[in-house]
Structure 1
Amino acid sequence: MRNVTVSLDDETARWARIEAARHDSSLSRFVCDVLRDRMHDRGEYERAAESYLSREALTLGEAGRPYPTRADLHSR
């Protein structure tokens, strides 16, 4: 584990200390967990986007997919 110095404005630092206490955690552990969760979420998003974009494109009307009707597109 590596030590880093982070500068926070007073309001953010106060909020972070309160949130860490709510999670029964030190401020350092809380910040680490938040950043790790963010990193994990970002990785999942990028994998999902890559998977979606790697699929072969289908045009409307292919593979039994009918064009939507005007009523379908503008139903209220």
Structure 2
Amino acid sequence: MKNITITMDDAAAEWVRVEAARRATSVSRLVGEWLAERMRQEDAYAQAMRDALAFESWGRAEPPLPRAAQYER
């Protein structure tokens, strides 16, 4: 575990202190959990994007018929 120092305005500091107390945890642990969750979300989003971009269509491989040929059927 690493210790870091963060700077925030007074209103944000007061809010996070109250939120941490409400959850019966420390500000440090609360902020650490929020950052870890954000990191997991970003990683999941990035993986989903890679999967989506790598997806190959299940459709037909040949190009569609010209419009006139479609109406002849």
What are structure 2's unaligned runs of at least 5 residues? Answer: 61-73
Q: Deviations over 1:11-34 (max 9, x none)?
A: 110111111112110000001000
Counterpart of 1:74 in structure 2 is none
Task: Report the 3-state secondary structure (helix = DSSP H, G, I; strand = E; otherwise coil) of the residue aligned with 1:24.
Answer: coil
1:16 aligns with 2:43: no
Tell me how many residue pairs correspond in the alignment: 60
Using structure 2 for the length normalisation, give the TM-score.
0.75
What are structure 1's unaligned runs of at least 5 residues? Answer: 64-76
Task: List aligned pairs for 1:31-70, cutoff 5 A.
Answer: 31-57=31-57, 62-63=59-60
CA RMSD of aligned residues (A): 1.4
In the alignment, the residues of structure 2 paired with residue 5 and residue 57 of structure 1 have an alpha-carbon distance, to the nearest angstrom, of 48
Counterpart of 1:4 in structure 2 is 4
Task: Give the partner amino acid of 2:40.
Answer: H
Moved over 2 A (4+): none
- Deviation of the 1:54 alpha carbon: 0.5
Q: Deviations over 1:22-76 (max 9, x none)?
A: 2110000001000000001110011111101101247xxx45xxxxxxxxxxxxx
Report percent identity of matched pairs. Answer: 38
Task: Give the partner amino acid of 1:36.
Answer: A
